[in-house]
Amino acid sequence: MSGGTTNKAMDFATFNSINTFIFDVDGVFTNGEVIITEEGEHLRTMSTRDGQALVIALSAGYNVAVITKGFSAGVRKRFEYLGVPHIYDKLHEKTGAFDDYVQKMGLMREQIIYMGDDIPDLPLYEKAGISACPSDGATENLQRAMYISPFAGGKGCVRDVIEKVMRHQGRWNF
């Protein structure tokens, strides 16, 4: 895996129409590592700053959804605690959940930024107005993402993308 901050001559004006953030979980909110207990429970860590950025985006009226193939009661509780209203988990593939959410919310492609770090996220890159990736994403994702955060998964990439969009729109007012 490699990282970088080059963004393929991305036109940041495309941030103007973003009103929806959709995120993968493992490798985006987390560093992609899983600690497995003797009981078989999978434990992860998440950045509180990423969580704070979610709360700020939700408070400002942005749509937020999480789409993940995995399942963890603790991860679900964390997103519920933060107020994320749309959590899709335990998926075999992500495209159906993405399409369901877009239809339910009446969204257009150019309104959506999607951040994912690995191969199962690539089909959603094609469906979002802006595809984003943490700096330590899989090679294929780094090659195809329109925006590559300078931050790694679990280390501020979520905060970075939310803050970038909101600052660009003049809505990060602190």
pLDDT over 90 at 12, yes or no: no
Find, among 47, 21, 57, the residue nearest to 151 by Cα. Answer: 47
Q: What is the mean pLDDT of residues 104-108?
A: 98
Buried/exposed 79-102: b ≥16 CB within 10 Å, e otherwise: beebebebbbbebeebeebbeebb
What pLDDT is stored for residue 106 in this prediction? Answer: 98
pLDDT over 70 at 26, yes or no: yes
pTM: 0.93
What is the 3-state composition of the chain as percent helix, strand, coil, each rounded to the nearest 5? 40, 15, 45
How far apart, in whole angstroms, are the C-alpha atoms of residue 24 and residue 169?
23
Alpha helices, DSSP H, located in 9-154: 48-59, 73-82, 95-105, 122-125, 139-144
Residue 7's contacts (CB-CB under 8 Å, 6 or more residues apart) are 146, 147, 148
Q: What is the mean pLDDT of residues 87-101?
A: 96
pLDDT over 80 at 8, yes or no: no
If you average pLDDT over every residue of the chain, what do you get?
93
Domain assignments of the chain as residue spans, ordered by start:
14-167
- Hey, which CATH number is domain 14-167, 3.40.50.1000, 3.40.800.10, 3.40.50.970, 3.30.70.260? 3.40.50.1000
Per cent of the chain over pLDDT 90 is 86
